[in-house]
Amino acid sequence: MTKLIKIAVDAMGGDNSPRKVIDGIIHNHKKNKENFFKIFGDKDKILKQIGNKINESFYEIVHTNDVVKSTDSPLEAAKRGKKTSMWLSIESVKNKETDIVISAGNTGALLVIAKLNLKMLENIDRPALSALWPNKKGMSVVLDLGANIECSSKNLIDFAIMGASLYKSLYPNDISKVALLNIGSEELKGNEIIKETYQLLNDRKNQNFDFEGYIEGNELMNGKVNVIVSDGFTGNVALKTAEGTANFITGELKKALSGSFLGKISSLLNISNLRKLKERLDPRLYNGAIFVGLDTPVVKSHGGIDYIGFSNSLDVCNRIIKGNLIRKIKENIK
């Protein structure tokens, strides 16, 4: 039997948990028998949801009644105690009982508790929050998305290396193509930190990626690059703008195609293309932000996502471990 990938799951984080989380595990297990789930949370609620839908050889439940609330500040979450489902799930990867941890809970709390429990990788100064975005040719890794509001050139170079390593672990047959998010494509554009980063990346030898220079906000999804690097302030604004734009487009399209007789006829004639567009913009496909820079990867599922989205984030966990992300970062950060 193939060695199973052990995923620590905080079952109590996010909306409609643990039901959403357990349904996501069940859905994922139907497609993929490579994962073992160590599930942390209220045992009675978890067992009621899981029933006999998964063989017991593929999961284990660690009971706790304590949870990190969505309203907790990171400090309150850390003080809440070491018996919360979030803390215990992170502690399990710290103790090498599991390979990777995932939670749909409070993002700030997850980052703080992860940093309290897990060590930084050697030569990495700060961890970064990364995510997958769709582009015309496939997917891009974007980081940082809010963990570091201000960054040095060293931080941005680290993010480039970690982002390229993450992309390669998820898409091993592709070349990582890295660009810095900036206000222009010319070398002289941007602040001093980003210009310094540009020069250092341009001069860097033996990289595990192709450095493509700058990218502007209107080019994020054209597919010319697949790793986009920025400080956390800029990255978070770009993320929220992209999410808002996608929601606006789908909302307006739905209105236009259902608001009149001609619109309804048009939607029937184009139902196949519309279905493809809907699937392409489905946020569940891109669920799973990854906290990189620690000695164990931490995956954050969106708190409001449904069980399909949570299942997709479990796929991300599987691919990160199979792709040897931590080893790739260690090799390339030197």
Domains in the chain, CATH or no CATH each: 1-124+293-326 (3.40.718.10), 125-285 (3.40.718.10)
Tokens representing 40 are 């942390």
pLDDT value for 119: 93
Q: Say what the pLDDT of residue 275 is.
A: 60
- Predicted confidence (pLDDT) per residue in 2-11, tens digit: 789 999 999 9
For 39, counting Cβ atoms within 10 Å of its Cβ (0-12 exposed, 13-18 middle, 19+ buried), the class is buried
The answer to whether residues 264 and 281 touch, using CB atoms and an 8 Å cutoff, is: no
Closest to 141 (Cα-Cα) out of 225, 244, 245: 225
Residue 80 confidence (pLDDT): 78
pLDDT of residue 261: 59
Residue among 173, 146, 178 nearest 161 (CA) = 178
Strands (E), 47-149: 59-63, 100-103, 128-135, 138-143
Peptide bond before residue 282 is cis, with ω within 30 degrees of 0: no
E-strand stretches of 150-209: 177-181
Contact 47, 22 (CB under 8 A): no
Query: Residue 287 has what pLDDT?
Result: 67
Q: Euclidean distance between the first and final Cα of the chain, in Å?
A: 36
Share of the chain above pLDDT 70, in %: 88
Contact, 259 vs 266, CB < 8 A? no
Instruction: Give the pLDDT score at 243.
Output: 74
pLDDT of residue 197: 95
CB 166 within 8 A of CB 130: yes
Reported as a single tens digit per residue, the pLDDT across 36-73 is 999 999 999 999 999 889 999 999 999 999 999 888 88
Model pTM score: 0.85
Cβ atoms of 133 and 230 closer than 8 Å: no
pLDDT value of residue 12? 95
Radius of gyration (C-alpha) of the chain in whole angstroms: 21
Instruction: Say what the pLDDT of residue 43 is.
Output: 95
Ranges under pLDDT 70 in the chain: 1, 206, 250, 252-254, 256-287
At 286-312, the pLDDT tens digits run: 667 899 999 998 999 988 888 999 999
Question: Edge to edge, what strands does the sheet with 177-181 contain?
Answer: 59-63, 35-41, 5-10, 100-103, 298-300, 289-292, 128-135, 138-143, 227-229, 177-181, 210-215
Helix (H) or strand (E) holding 201: helix 192-203
pLDDT at 87: 96
What's the rounded Cα separation, in Å, for the pair 130 and 322?
Answer: 18
CA atoms within a 13 Å half-sphere pointing along the CA-CB vector of 91: 11
Q: Which of 160, 129, 332 lies closest to 229 in space, CA to CA?
A: 160
Residue 334: what residue type? K
